[in-house]
Structure 1
Amino acid sequence: MTTRHVLSVGQCGFDHSSISRFLRQAIGARVEPVPSSEEALSALRADPSRYDLVLVNRVFDSGGSGIDLIRSIRQDAALAGVPVMLVSDHQDAQRQAVALGALPGFGKSQLGDPTTADRLKDALACPGGS
């Protein structure tokens, strides 16, 4: 099985740990954290094909907006095809992210939900996704 690489943007240490553990156990993915939009865009522009998925927190632990980052990624022709998901329990934010071109995301409270694992498997094109 090919290891999937996920860029996780704006999560606090506790949430990054929870998300990383979930992705490692459910999918075998490796998760790389960055605290800000600037660092995320820099990492993505350096090698857009390195990441199979970008998980964006609604409000970054270091300050900043996940919705603004999604907008920036979608407006950059070199990055527009990179799959992005919002991590938020706020349904209005999820709708806004999808309207900008993100895949339907999930909230931190849904990490143990099997449908979240299936959604991530689908996003990462992993075998066993529904």
Structure 2
Amino acid sequence: MPKQVLDVGSCGYDHSSLKSLIERSFDAKVLQAHGPADTLKMLREQTFALVVINRKLDRDHADGIELMKTIKADEQLAETPVMLLSNYEDAQAAAEEAGAVPGFGKLALGKESTLKKLEPFLG
């Protein structure tokens, strides 16, 4: 059975790019959530090997790092690996401080280094 990845807050184009990369590189299926409410609902109802959260959520521009903090503070969800999708180094550092594993930016989607970051969770 394929592992599940939850992509949170990506626009249609970015979601398609991430989904394509993950599904062709790993035995994994990528589902999408758009904001904090549907993200938390999906995390409570299904099991995900990894959650990739955009720095700014596409629909309402909510802060992705704040959503990470909410996930990490929830006893039921805290062990779920989360990763930030952002090209900004300071945002990546803030995400790791909030409990995220090292993430990557949209500009690195096709790079080998991105696959290496995904491998421990999806390989």
Where on the TM-score scale, by shorter chain, does this alignment land: which range?
over 0.9
Structure 2 residues without counterparts, runs of 5 or longer = none
| Aligned residue pairs, count | 122
The 3-state SS of whatever aligns with 1:30 is strand
Structure 1 residues 61-115: Cα deviation after superposition (integer angstroms, max 9, x where no partner)? 1121100110000000110000000000011000000001100000011011101
TM-score, scaled relative to structure 1: 0.90
Aligned to 1:62, which of 59, 64, 76? Answer: 59
Once the two structures are superposed, the pairs formed by residues 1-130 of structure 1 within 5 Å of their partners are: 2-47=1-46, 50-63=47-60, 64-124=62-122, 126=123
**Amino acid of the residue matched to residue 55 of structure 1?**
V
Distance 2:98 2:121 in 1: 16
The 3-state SS of whatever aligns with 2:31 is strand
Distance 2:4 2:45 in 1: 15
RMSD of equivalent CA atoms: 0.9
Distance 2:121 2:4 in 1: 12
Distance 2:42 2:66 in 1: 17
Q: Which has the higher contact order (CA 8 A, sep 6+)?
A: 2
Distance 2:120 2:48 in 1: 15
State the 4+ residue runs in structure 1 displaced beyond 4 angstroms: none
Distance 2:53 2:9 in 1: 7
Structure 1 residues without counterparts, runs of 5 or longer = none
Deviation of the 1:28 alpha carbon:
2.8
Q: Percent identity?
A: 39
TM-score, scaled relative to structure 2: 0.95
Distance 1:115 1:25 in 2: 16
